Amino acid sequence: MIDRSTPPMKSLYQQLILDHYRNPRNRGELDDRTVEIHMRNPTCGDEIKLQLRIEDDRIADLKFLGDGCSISQASVSMMTTILKGRSLDDAHQVSRRFTEMMHGDEDAARDSELGNLRTLAGVAKFPVRIKCALLGFDALQEAMKKSRGEHDHPTESER
């Protein structure tokens, strides 16, 4: 669904991004996880570990651990709040739309499916930071592949 209201992004480091960076949601270990992916941004060495419990083609729960810049940590924190309880199809759709937004798609930047993630739309203007914003989604894509038995790397992924 397209929300035609004014894009919420006012500055790169707006309050919501800083709030998720300082108070990350769903941070920690997920004891009953069914899949785990370790993803590192090779350009800076920052990394995250994403853990999901997938049940009946649904993300029943997910958590992450990691160190990184405010963009990467806020992005993955927002991602977890949006995807908890959602179907894998929904997760693919959110991931696709977020990636489109990071590549400058203005319709994606107004898509209400992305929720608070739309506050990261301004990152698209800073090419070196796009990888930061996509780090959590790269981990998500690998986790969903791994859960389908398509994963190339047994324990760790790197992009």
Query: In the bound complex, what is the minimum distance in angstroms from residue 72's beta carbon to ligand FES?
Result: 4
Question: Which range, of 10-18, 66-74, 79-87, 102-110, touches ligand FES by CB under 6 A?
Answer: 66-74
Contacts (CB under 6 A) with ligand FES, residues 91-150 = 132, 135
Residue 49 near residue 136 (C-beta atoms within 8 A)? no
Instruction: Give every CB contact of residue 20 below 8 A, 6+ residues apart in sequence.
Output: 73, 74, 77, 78, 116
Among 68, 77, 78, 142, binds ligand FES (CB under 6 A): 68
| 41 sits near ligand FES (criterion: CB under 6 A) | yes
Instruction: Give every CB contact of residue 62 below 8 A, 6+ residues apart in sequence.
Output: 26, 30, 50, 51, 52, 53, 80, 83, 84
Which residues lie near ligand FES (CB under 6 A)?
A: 41, 44, 46, 68-69, 71-72, 132, 135
